[in-house]
Chain A
Amino acid sequence: MSALTLVLKDKSATSLDLSALTPAALSGLKPTALRRLRIPAGGRQAALGDLFEISGDDPRTLRLHGLHGGCHRVGHGMREGRIEVKGSVGDELGREMRGGELRVSSDAGAGAGMGMRGGFIQVNGSASDALGGLTPGATRGMNGGVLIVTGNVGARCGERMRRGLVVVGGDAGDYLGDRMLAGTILVLGRCGAHVGFGMRRGSLLLAQAPASAAPNYRDCGEFEFGVLTLLKDYLAGFHPAYAKRLAAFSRARRWCGDMLYGGTGEILVAADG
């Protein structure tokens, strides 16, 4: 058996909702049924076979090639298996994902990992706003799993995040960890304004100090944090190179806050950051 591979035929096709394409949803489908599978495509329904060249027969690993920013909701609700995307994806990558592995070779749109509860997402490019954020109507954002973006991310990364680990290899936009409830966000580049606004608990690990100090945070001093060694080992299972970068946090300055919300959240800034 070989990995089920779908190559987008028409690069101009936009507004494709690919939420139906998960390893679990496609397992057991015969080739004919697979080709006839209806996909929302810009206000109409199109057959999967008309949109994609299909090869391979093992949906436990699903390869989506030639995607672009108009291909949305890749890996929506995914629970198991593996999706490998060659190209970029649109909004809501891995929305409400619960398990499995999802890798994108280039950029992702807004809301990647929104409402995510488990599994692993890696975007080898940049991601737009609301990474690991909330689904519409929800009170909590990302609630588990690991989400790595090697490039930059937009505003409100980790908004109302409850659990899990987000790693940003590049820069983060404004309102990083906005109203965060718990969990961990590591940013290896710079971050924008209003870091940790309204944060209740959780940890923001910043390799570089924010340009402006968060107003409702209090400086607690510089320390060694044993828990970061545990985090380093955990991250090494997903991205060894980024785990090594945690060495910069061997000593970190701790800011606790948001003091308007109990002060049990923290911003840890690498000592040499």
Chain B
Amino acid sequence: MKINGVTIDNTFAEAFPMKATRIIVTARNETWVEHAVRAMTGFATSVIACGCEAGIERRLKSSETPDGRPGAAVLLFTMSNKELIKQVQNRVGQCVLTSPTSACFAGLEQGDPIPLGKNLRFFGDGWQLSKKLGAKRYWRVPVMDGEFVCEENTRVVKAIGGGNFLILATDQDSALAASERAIVAMQKVAGVIMPFPGGVVRSGSKVGSKYKTLPASTNHLFCPTLKGAVRSELSADVGAVLEIVIDGLDAESISEATRVGVLAACRGRKHGVLRISAGNYGGNLGPFHFKLRTILK
């Protein structure tokens, strides 16, 4: 299978179940929304060492947020409910509560409730106020610029982490340009985040290492500088490989993000992209398999 001259490998991305929540952060203007959500989603590229994977799903207009101010939807993914509770509390508490003019709301209506403002309210030291409107409870925590308004709970749903595809190009510049095109297209898909810096990862990993303490190490089969030393997956003309990792609320969203991402990566003339592949572990690690050729058919 070829798209605009790019070979699509007959392989699949292997993904695994995660727990996720969507949180809506608002502020007085877009600048302070950006400060809050960038802080909140910082150091959240991989559950391997960050505790969670998080990213900005999309920016929200004033008309789309609960309090009529500019906002952003953030998705957080973890391997367990317990870890998600911890990550939400720490990240909202340290990055959103602290950000001037911010407010925080649940972004999902379905799923099991976990605390959002329920515990953070104690920062109010007894001066916090509750306002229950219908089925939703909000906390008003007095802070130095007014009040921090935060919904009591957010919702957790089953989700999928680790969707991915690899862009194999002639050189770094071509791989980077294709990745950037892909990310711009994928950011328009609802329900997904690409948690790595700029949405792109250059240090694709395999499970395990020759060093016993490491759970993961470099995916040497896709490292171009090792082509002559190992049983490489790369042909002689491949000079750089970049990976895009996708976490999503459901399989459909990940498939759609993969589809638009690959098509964008392959777009244009003299793009330098040679192959699109995907990372998997032989089907033994995760129950979700995103077959490239099926998705792109």
Contacts and interface: CB of A to CB of B under 8 A. Distances in A.
Q: Which of under 10, 10 to 19, 20 to 34, or 35 or more describes the interface residues of A?
A: 10 to 19
A224 B146 contact: yes
B138 A230 contact: yes
B146 A165 contact: no
Interface stretch (B52-60, B127-135, B158-166, B230-238): B127-135
A69 to B, nearest CB: 32
B127 A231 contact: no
A165 B147 contact: no
Interface string B29-73: 000000000000000000000000000000000000011110000
A223 B146 contact: yes
A152 interface: no
Contact of B147 (A182, A201, A226): A226
Contacts of B66: 229-230, 233
A227 B68 CA distance: 11
Interface in A173-222: 182, 184, 201, 203
B149 interface: yes
A229 to B, nearest CB: 4
Interface in B124-153: 126-127, 129-134, 138, 140, 146-147, 149
A229 B68 contact: yes
A230 B147 CA distance: 14
B103 interface: yes
Interface string B94-106: 0000000001000
B127 A230 contact: no
Interface string A139-170: 00000000000000000000000010100000
A190 to B, nearest CB: 24
A107 interface: no
Nearest to A165: B133
A230 B146 contact: no
B131 A227 contact: yes
| Chain B interface, DSSP helix/strand/loop, else mixed | strand
A225 B103 CA distance: 11
Contacts of B126: 264
A226 B103 contact: yes
Contact of B131 (A224, A230, A233, A264): A230
B134 A227 contact: no
B133 A225 contact: no
A227 B130 contact: no
Contacts of A266: 129
Given A233-B66, A234-B133, A227 B127 contact: no
Nearest to B128: A264
A225 B146 CA distance: 8
Contacts of B69: 226, 229
Nearest to B130: A182
Contacts of A201: 129-130
B210 to A, nearest CB: 54
Contacts of A231: 131, 133
B133 A230 contact: yes
A131 B24 CA distance: 37
A227 B146 contact: no
B260 to A, nearest CB: 34
Contacts of A226: 67, 69, 103, 146-147, 149
Interface of A: 163, 165, 182, 184, 201, 203, 223-227, 229-231, 233-234, 264, 266
Given A203-B131, A226-B69, 17 more contacts: A165-B133, A203-B129, A225-B146, A225-B147, A226-B67, A226-B103, A227-B138, A227-B147, A229-B66, A229-B67, A229-B68, A229-B69, A230-B67, A230-B133, A230-B138, A231-B131, A233-B66
9 contacts: A165-B133, A203-B129, A203-B131, A227-B138, A227-B147, A229-B68, A230-B67, A230-B138, A264-B127
